[in-house]
Structure 1
Amino acid sequence: MKFFRFLGSLFVTSFCLPATAQNQHPNIVFILADDLGWTDLGCMGSDFYETPNIDKLRNNGMLFTRAYTNAANSAPSRASILTGLYTPRHGVYTVNPPDRGKPENRKLIPLPNKDVLDTALVTFPEILQANGYRTTHIGKWHLGRDDIQTGPKANGFDMNIAGNHIGTPYSYYYPFCNQAGECLPNLDLSDSTYQYLTDRLTEEAVSQIKQSNSQPFFLYLAHYAVHTPLQAKAEKVEKYNRKPAGKHHDNATYAAMVESLDESVGKIIEALKEENKLDNTLIVFFSDNGGMLAGISNNYPLKGGKGMPYEGGNRVPLIISYGNNIEKNSATDVPVMGADLFSTFLDFANVKYKRTTDGKSLKNILLHRESKKISKRDLHFYFPAYLESYGDENSFRATPYASIISGDWKLIYFFEDNRSELYNLRSDMGESVDISKTDKKKADKMLENLFKWMKQVHAPTNFKLNPLYLNKD
């Protein structure tokens, strides 16, 4: 296995840790929602969706109000979480293919994209696995075609349940298969107890928690919810059909899916309580990218949604709880990103490692310590591909772009026409007023810093003009 290449640089613990060492190696539960938007929770302001369990988790830990995924869609975001790297370092930029939309509308030829995570890259589950953690992946993988060679088991997981190459579930209903007979892997289809996919994955996770003993565990529950297709329990849909529409949210089926996701979080917490493991478990709740638009949800006051370069594309809820170790009902507006979770998990696990990452551990922020290295840094994003609009291949949600966030400032650079947009997120969270022309000095400086970063991470910028492009000018 590939982790033997770096085993010598790790502090390797005994496989079965003594009781006195368990507090130094807490259990970790990572719950990743799919396509859940920044305001899709009660604690984030929704007056239509009901999320009492996630709201309670927020009250028992810290809320990050400026948490970003490293990409505005699924696969690259997940790759950055697992590796702690910016997208140019792992080469997963989008959900294949990168040349989405009609070719005559694309001015540039998009750069090559990987749809499989390179197994030469070390993931944090591999490091945890090498240090005595039992590692389990449940749910959406979306980064490899084969479980053993490119899937979870090739990237540090002892067990994989229901994860393969697909990004959209075959079905949310039992037996979770498509019409061609393809089913989610490693699910016992003879067990029809839990007919709804979100419930079934939750019960698989609960079972893993109950089977754990003194060995610390890392549980990655990567829900397919709330990704399309919109399929929910009929009784919940009816409940929301009877409920008055909220100010910005009103989709009853989506609301029902959010509620099932919330119930999952509640069951996970209850299982940890029953097993007397809650106080020694770091719980992280996150989303892989911003919320879907097209009548599904609404990310107001943020601009845009999934796949877009604006705040609605990759600003998402992040909640972290850890018994009494993190101040309850606390919050921070320090900008953080998905790649930070790599170092955060290993830091809390007290695992020493020598590995260059783009992320930083959030432990100091969570424990209210000095965190200048995080609060003063810039965040960067890079997308050298095309993504068509919702149901319209004649327009785009995203064309090739790169962006930088520096404190309250955000600059987006569009490769097609060498154009920049500049926003002050403190005064204009909704990115409604482009001030790149009125504050040209600030825009030029941020663009200079963005180009320096692209050079540092070897982001390819060798775009070529598309000969099929029909010039609209």
Structure 2
Amino acid sequence: MNKRFFRVIISLLIITPIFSNAQEDKKPNILIINVDDMGWTDVGYMGNDVYHTPNIDQLSKESIIFMNGYAGAANCAPSRACLLTGQTTTRHGIYTVGPSTRGEDYTRKIVPIENHPHLQKKALTIGNIFKQNGYQTAAFGKWHVSRKAEDYGFDYARGTSHQGHPPSYISPFKLTNLKDGEQGEYLTDRITDEVIHYLKNERKSDQPFFVYLPYYAVHTPLMCKPGMDEKYKGKKQKDGARLNPQYAALIENTDWNIGRLLDLLDELKLTDDTIIIFTSDNGGIYSISHQFGIRAGKGSYYEGGLKVPMLFKWKGHWEAGKKENTKVTQLDFLPTLAEITNSTIPDGYALDGNSIAPLLTGKGKFDKKRTLVYHFPIYLQAYEKGGDDARDALFRTRPGSVVIQGDWKLHYYYEDKKMELYNLIDDPSERNNLADKYAKRANKMYNYLQEWLTERDGKIPTQSNPKYDAEKEKAELQKYL
């Protein structure tokens, strides 16, 4: 053996421990991609062979795939508030967009709990917390929980506002905090361009970054790039329902832009040092895209409104392509990322999710049968009366709460004090109500709900609505039987 060989060995013995410690101390970058209204099975890796999502599918092969990913709530603003704060709806008070008195007056039997339209000024978000832990923080796209993301811990923001959807996907966009581009510029491309510009030119190389990327796509209005919908015309969804070509093209374009970002991380040699999370804010709109084997869609607390695609990737750290069946919610994101990055959360700050680090790393224990609760004490009218696959024809949901314990799911409705109990293994489409057959189990879950609401100051609607007209409501419902 020559002298050069021995010099290399000695240098490795000296350098490696120092390098390893430096690597351990370095916090990973974080990128959260939150698509708007993309359903649980609107991606190829979940068995959809109609929508074109090659980049997301490739990402799934490099990620841990959570087959039972759940949103923080079943519609836009509350779901985002849950993800951003790590707190459930009873704490931040955002239950919907606009007033809680949705639908016709005469169809609402009780007075719903008042809705808060935005986060309180004192609210902490994932942006605040990671900024306090040394991260550069940036947000791009649909913020939707206040007027300015910069007020909640994000140093850099583009396209963020309280707007729930873009007036147009084709410039002029007419969005606050984003200048209109040239005539014909496409919004999802532009938002991605803004992220690319930030990563190339604005971020500081000596600090880790936290990027929150909530795309406006694939929310309505259904406007795709000219011509992109042609190949989808005449096609059908997996269950034979009509396929919306514009929606399919929106998904394809979003996937293409996600591919651009993943390529950039490779180009900048950031992939190995970046945690990537991919998800959607809630289930897909049922009248636009059905979710295979599960019921209803956005705004409903049946599975179609709650279940979302969910991927976690950290190259070289977590098992690529692993399918995990444990139920995980977006409330878990904040505590998980804080643990993984060794970041501190202020003392006394209430979190309603749990760290899923054991599921990612394979180390430690996680309660796979923990209870999930959703509280939605308001009304959300139907997108398409009689066409949302909901409990009744007029509403996607009426005031109620949901409890999920293991394979069992309880719905409780405050108007009529009725229960629905389903076994999600035997009946994932929630068609066979077992509340009477398993009354003891249903009551036990209901009692758990009462304790949960008490602990979290969950307001329950009890006041009768003086404008309610039972006969008029009945006549309206009869139209859709």
TM-score normalised to structure 2 length: 0.88
Q: Choose the corresponding residue for 1:215, options 207, 220, 225.
A: 207
Aligned letter for 1:421? E
1:320-365 CA-to-partner distances (Å, cap 9, x unmatched) read 1111111011011111111111112222222122332111112111
Task: Tell me which residue corresponds to 1:7.
Answer: none
Quote the Cα distance in structure 2 between the aligned partners of 1:334 and 1:187: 39
Task: Tell me which residue corresponds to 1:4.
Answer: none
Task: Tell me which residue corresponds to 1:359.
Answer: 353
Quote the Cα distance in structure 2 between the aligned partners of 1:227 and 1:241: 19
Q: Choose the corresponding residue for 1:372, options 340, 343, 366.
A: 366
Quote the Cα distance in structure 1 between the aligned partners of 2:136 and 2:426: 46
Task: Tell me which residue corresponds to 1:224.
Answer: 216
- How big is the shift at 1:411? 0.2
8 Å CA contact 1:124, 1:346 repeated in 2: no
Q: Does the alignment pair 1:196 with 2:186?
A: yes
- How big is the shift at 1:370? 3.2
- How big is the shift at 1:247? 4.1
Structure of higher CA gyration radius: 2
In structure 2, relative to structure 1, the CA distance for the partners of 1:398 and 1:139 (3 Å cut) is same
Q: Choose the corresponding residue for 2:152, options 149, 152, 155.
A: 155
Task: Tell me which residue corresponds to 1:56.
Answer: 58
Quote the Cα distance in structure 1 between the aligned partners of 2:289 and 2:25: 41
Q: Does the alignment pair 1:172 with 2:164?
A: no
8 Å CA contact 2:99, 2:114 repeated in 1: no
- How big is the shift at 1:119? 2.2
Which deviates more, 212-221 or 248-257?
248-257
SS in structure 1 of the partner of residue 336 of structure 2: helix
Quote the Cα distance in structure 1 between the aligned partners of 2:240 and 2:142: 28
8 Å CA contact 1:344, 1:363 repeated in 2: yes
Quote the Cα distance in structure 2 between the aligned partners of 1:244 and 1:388: 27
- How big is the shift at 1:456? 1.2
In structure 2, relative to structure 1, the CA distance for the partners of 1:386 and 1:280 (3 Å cut) is same
Quote the Cα distance in structure 1 between the aligned partners of 2:363 and 2:206: 30
SS in structure 1 of the partner of residue 82 of structure 2: helix
SS in structure 1 of the partner of residue 124 of structure 2: coil
Task: Tell me which residue corresponds to 2:6.
Answer: none
Q: Choose the corresponding residue for 2:176, options 141, 162, 185.
A: 185
SS in structure 2 of the partner of residue 312 of structure 1: helix
Map 1:129-144 → 2, pairs under 5 A: 129-144=131-146
Q: Does the alignment pair 1:289 with 2:319?
A: no
Quote the Cα distance in structure 2 between the aligned partners of 1:24 and 1:343: 19
1:128-178 CA-to-partner distances (Å, cap 9, x unmatched) read 111221111100011113xxxxx201101001101111101111001212x
SS in structure 1 of the partner of residue 394 of structure 2: strand
Which deviates more, 166-175 or 413-422?
166-175
Aligned letter for 1:205? V
8 Å CA contact 1:22, 1:214 repeated in 2: no
Aligned letter for 1:270? D
Task: Tell me which residue corresponds to 2:426.
Answer: 427
Aligned letter for 2:321? N
Quote the Cα distance in structure 2 between the aligned partners of 1:312 and 1:226: 16
SS in structure 2 of the partner of residue 119 of structure 1: coil
In structure 2, relative to structure 1, the CA distance for the partners of 1:19 and 1:153 (3 Å cut) is farther
Task: Tell me which residue corresponds to 1:6.
Answer: none
Quote the Cα distance in structure 1 between the aligned partners of 2:239 and 2:24: 46
- How big is the shift at 1:194? 7.5
1:26-55 CA-to-partner distances (Å, cap 9, x unmatched) read 110000000110110000111200101001
Q: Does the alignment pair 1:310 with 2:302?
A: yes
Q: Choose the corresponding residue for 1:386, options 375, 379, 392.
A: 379
- How big is the shift at 1:391? 4.1
Aligned letter for 1:91? G
- How big is the shift at 1:246? 4.2
SS in structure 2 of the partner of residue 236 of structure 1: coil
SS in structure 2 of the partner of residue 171 of structure 1: coil
- How big is the shift at 1:244? 6.6
SS in structure 2 of the partner of residue 381 of structure 1: strand
**Which residues of structure 2 form unaligned runs of 5+?**
1-19, 387-392, 475-481
In structure 2, relative to structure 1, the CA distance for the partners of 1:194 and 1:130 (3 Å cut) is farther
Aligned letter for 1:358? D
Aligned letter for 1:265? I
**Which residues of structure 1 form unaligned runs of 5+?**
1-17, 146-150, 178-183
Aligned letter for 2:254? L
Quote the Cα distance in structure 2 between the aligned partners of 1:335 and 1:113: 28
Task: Tell me which residue corresponds to 1:466.
Answer: 465
SS in structure 2 of the partner of residue 413 of structure 1: strand
Task: Tell me which residue corresponds to 1:319.
Answer: 311
SS in structure 2 of the partner of residue 108 of structure 1: coil
Q: Does the alignment pair 1:28 with 2:30?
A: yes
Percent identity between the aligned chains? 39
SS in structure 1 of the partner of residue 177 of structure 2: coil
- How big is the shift at 1:81? 0.6
8 Å CA contact 1:47, 1:247 repeated in 2: no
In structure 2, relative to structure 1, the CA distance for the partners of 1:404 and 1:248 (3 Å cut) is farther
Task: Tell me which residue corresponds to 1:103.
Answer: 105
Quote the Cα distance in structure 2 between the aligned partners of 1:142 and 1:404: 27
TM-score normalised to structure 1 length: 0.90
- How big is the shift at 1:241? 1.9
Aligned letter for 2:397? A
8 Å CA contact 2:40, 2:304 repeated in 1: yes
RMSD: 1.9
Task: Tell me which residue corresponds to 2:290.
Answer: 298
SS in structure 1 of the partner of residue 263 of structure 2: helix
SS in structure 2 of the partner of residue 259 of structure 1: helix
1:7-34 CA-to-partner distances (Å, cap 9, x unmatched) read xxxxxxxxxxx99358631110000000
Q: Choose the corresponding residue for 2:90, options 82, 88, 91.
A: 88
Quote the Cα distance in structure 2 between the aligned partners of 1:327 and 1:407: 25
SS in structure 2 of the partner of residue 320 of structure 1: strand
Quote the Cα distance in structure 2 between the aligned partners of 1:392 and 1:462: 24
Quote the Cα distance in structure 2 between the aligned partners of 1:248 and 1:143: 37
8 Å CA contact 2:358, 2:366 repeated in 1: no
Quote the Cα distance in structure 1 between the aligned partners of 2:138 and 2:405: 36
